[in-house]
């Protein structure tokens, strides 16, 4: 990523999640958007799902990037230990075990599936050129936070952060530029201005906004950026670039991929940010569940209990150990193996799968239209932020209590509710992770034997032969004529 873009910071950003909230409920958006009240919960993350997702992302960020911990499970251990006991959300301990189990399986799943694609993390030098991994001065494209300038600026109040208007180029001191809204006045250093009590000399360049009622506000003109984080940029065996995104969820969902707005927005943004076009998007889903080795009965035979959480490959491996070949196994075991095969697809099993998504030029152009269309509505000074109550409010709205109180006109409850909230710092780039400061030193964690950080009896050590043929996975984008 070009340095001048990644280093820019914005006080006002647009993220895919903001856009989703904007479309979901204007009142909720008004509370939390950086363009409105900009509120966020104080203290460490207490939502166990977010906390857990951050840990898995960090483990894979390290493993596929600098790999300072040498093993994603050690990186996950470091993440867990970056929190003081009273900062850990409820259920963190159980999630620690789950994370270790998921990452253990990932370590066997990934090389087998990746042998068909040969994805490698892209490393960029300071000029944004791709270089060999670990080239001095280069960085791996993992957890790539980006700020894409949208070429839209707003006039904001220096004290309250209120947005008064979308800035019009060259509108300074033009009384007709913002009809019915106000006038933007620029006062140069050395000029005199009326500061409310008397005339004062202006020290620095100042912008003032004189609203429709004639009240003067000290303002600044602030650019808006599209903000996001790309989990990983990989290059395939033909050198084409893909954005790889990790999702942790109860179960894999593929129905949304054709319409997923993050996929479109990230490809659109990456094509502007990087020197090389993005070929597609890899949606890698890790189910929050622990894979188990195929169970055995007391007599040592393989169990055919369909409820066991195992996979086709694991069972096949045990069958080969016991019988030498699948066709020599008893029918009921072959039947169970076939049942497991039917539940899997070439893209993965019920524990981990990846899907490949592409967007054509027309789709990317439409993404841009949507982003600017939504932004323009967000900046409409007359926008009334009405609520959109649905049955999802109970689980998808962190400000539900304030929303209910607001309809009742109960200002005391609203005030009490927001005691635990604060304004998000305006100088942040949107991704401040305070726990990163408290990560245990890699050289110390690397020395801890793996058995000490995970209860190895619970986590299988599966030695697969790294063959994509075994998985049935084929890289369908193998057409060499289609190279970008």
190 in the Ramachandran plot: left (φ > 0), alpha (ψ -120 to 50) or beta? left
389 interacts with ligand SF4 by CB under 6 A: yes
The Cα-based distances of 216 to 182, 203, 256, 346 in angstroms read 9, 18, 48, 64
Query: 1, 14, 25, 163: which one contacts ligand SF4 (CB under 6 A)?
Result: 25
405 interacts with ligand SF4 by CB under 6 A: no
Minimum Å gap between C-beta 132 and ligand SF4 is 48
414 interacts with ligand SF4 by CB under 6 A: no
Q: With respect to ligand SF4, which residue has the nearer C-beta, 394 or 457?
A: 394
d(CA 195, CA 217): 10
397 interacts with ligand SF4 by CB under 6 A: yes
Q: With respect to ligand SF4, which residue has the nearer C-beta, 27 or 288?
A: 27
Minimum Å gap between C-beta 416 and ligand SF4 is 17
Number of H helices, E strands in the chain: 16, 17
393 interacts with ligand SF4 by CB under 6 A: yes
387 interacts with ligand SF4 by CB under 6 A: yes
Minimum Å gap between C-beta 413 and ligand SF4 is 14
Crossing angle of helices 16-24/261-273, nearest 10°? 150
Residue (of 233, 267, 459, 255) closest to 367 by Cα position? 267
36 interacts with ligand SF4 by CB under 6 A: no
Q: Which of residues 129-188 bind ligand SF4 (CB under 6 A)?
A: none
d(CA 368, CA 226): 11
Q: Which helix (H) or strand (E) holds 174?
A: none
383 interacts with ligand SF4 by CB under 6 A: no
Segment interacting with ligand SF4, rule: CB under 6 A, options 91-99, 131-139, 364-372, 397-405: 397-405
Query: 184, 371, 399, 453: which one contacts ligand SF4 (CB under 6 A)?
Result: 399
39 interacts with ligand SF4 by CB under 6 A: no
Q: What is the CA radius of gyration of the chain?
A: 27
Segment interacting with ligand SF4, rule: CB under 6 A, options 153-161, 395-403, 437-445, 449-457: 395-403
385 interacts with ligand SF4 by CB under 6 A: no
154 in the Ramachandran plot: left (φ > 0), alpha (ψ -120 to 50) or beta? beta
340 interacts with ligand SF4 by CB under 6 A: no
d(CA 384, CA 194): 33
88 interacts with ligand SF4 by CB under 6 A: no
DSSP per-residue letters across 182-209: EEEEEE-TT-EEE-SSSEEE--S-EEEE
Q: With respect to ligand SF4, which residue has the nearer C-beta, 32 or 224?
A: 32
295 interacts with ligand SF4 by CB under 6 A: no
Minimum Å gap between C-beta 398 and ligand SF4 is 8
Question: How many residues lie near ligand SF4 (CB under 6 A)?
Answer: 11
d(CA 227, CA 47): 22
Residue (of 8, 64, 26) closest to 427 by Cα position? 8
Q: With respect to ligand SF4, which residue has the nearer C-beta, 319 or 378?
A: 378
Q: With respect to ligand SF4, which residue has the nearer C-beta, 49 or 456?
A: 49
d(CA 165, CA 37): 16
- For residue 336, give the 3-state DSSP assignment: helix
Minimum Å gap between C-beta 397 and ligand SF4 is 3
* Residue ranges binding ligand SF4 (CB under 6 A): 25, 27-28, 387-389, 393, 397, 399-400, 403
């Amino acid at each position: 990523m070009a340095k001048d873009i990644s280093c820019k910071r914005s006080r006002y950003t647009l993220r895919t999640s903001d856009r989703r909230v904007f479309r979901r409920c204007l009142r909720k958006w008004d509370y939390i958007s950086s363009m409105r009240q900009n509120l966020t919960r104080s203290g460490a993350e207490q939502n166990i799902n977010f906390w857990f997702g951050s840990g898995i992302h960090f483990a894979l960020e390290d493993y596929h990037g600098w790999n300072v911990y040498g093993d994603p499970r050690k990186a996950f251990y470091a993440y867990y230990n970056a929190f003081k006991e009273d900062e850990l959300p409820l259920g963190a301990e159980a999630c620690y075990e789950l994370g270790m189990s998921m990452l253990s399986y990932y370590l066997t799943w990934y090389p087998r599936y990746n042998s068909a694609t040969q994805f490698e993390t892209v490393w960029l030098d300071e000029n944004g050129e791709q270089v060999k991994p670990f080239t001095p001065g280069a960085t791996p494209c993992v957890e790539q936070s980006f700020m894409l300038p949208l070429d839209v600026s707003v006039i904001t109040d220096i004290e309250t952060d209120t947005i008064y208007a979308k800035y019009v180029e060259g509108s300074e001191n033009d009384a007709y530029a913002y009809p019915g809204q106000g006038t933007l006045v620029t006062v140069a250093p050395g000029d005199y201005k009326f500061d409310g009590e008397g005339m004062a000399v202006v020290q620095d360049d100042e912008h003032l906004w004189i609203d429709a009622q004639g009240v003067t506000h000290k303002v600044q003109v602030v650019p808006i950026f599209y903000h996001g984080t790309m989990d990983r940029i990989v290059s395939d065996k033909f050198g084409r670039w893909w954005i790889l995104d990790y999702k942790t969820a109860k179960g894999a969902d593929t129905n949304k991929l054709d319409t997923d707005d993050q996929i479109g927005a990230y490809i659109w943004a990456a094509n502007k940010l990087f020197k090389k076009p993005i070929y597609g998007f890899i949606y890698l889903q890790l189910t929050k569940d622990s894979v188990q080795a195929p169970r055995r009965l007391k007599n040592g035979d393989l169990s055919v209990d369909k409820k066991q959480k195992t996979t086709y490959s694991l069972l096949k491996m045990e069958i080969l150990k016991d019988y030498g070949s699948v066709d020599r196994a008893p029918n009921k075991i072959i039947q169970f193996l076939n049942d497991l095969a039917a539940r899997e697809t070439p893209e993965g099993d019920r524990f981990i799968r990846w899907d490949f998504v592409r967007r054509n030029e027309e789709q990317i152009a439409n993404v841009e239209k949507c982003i600017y269309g939504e932004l323009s509505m967000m900046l409409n000074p007359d926008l009334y932020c009405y609520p959109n109550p649905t049955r999802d409010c109970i689980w998808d709205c962190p400000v539900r209590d304030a929303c209910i109180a607001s309809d009742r006109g109960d200002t005391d409850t609203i005030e009490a509710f927001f005691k635990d909230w604060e304004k998000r710092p305006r100088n942040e780039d949107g991704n401040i992770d305070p726990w990163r400061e408290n990560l245990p030193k890699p050289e110390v964690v690397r020395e801890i034997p793996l058995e000490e950080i995970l209860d190895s009896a619970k986590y299988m050590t599966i030695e697969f032969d790294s063959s994509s043929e075994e998985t049935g996975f084929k890289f369908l984008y193998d057409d060499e004529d289609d190279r970008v």
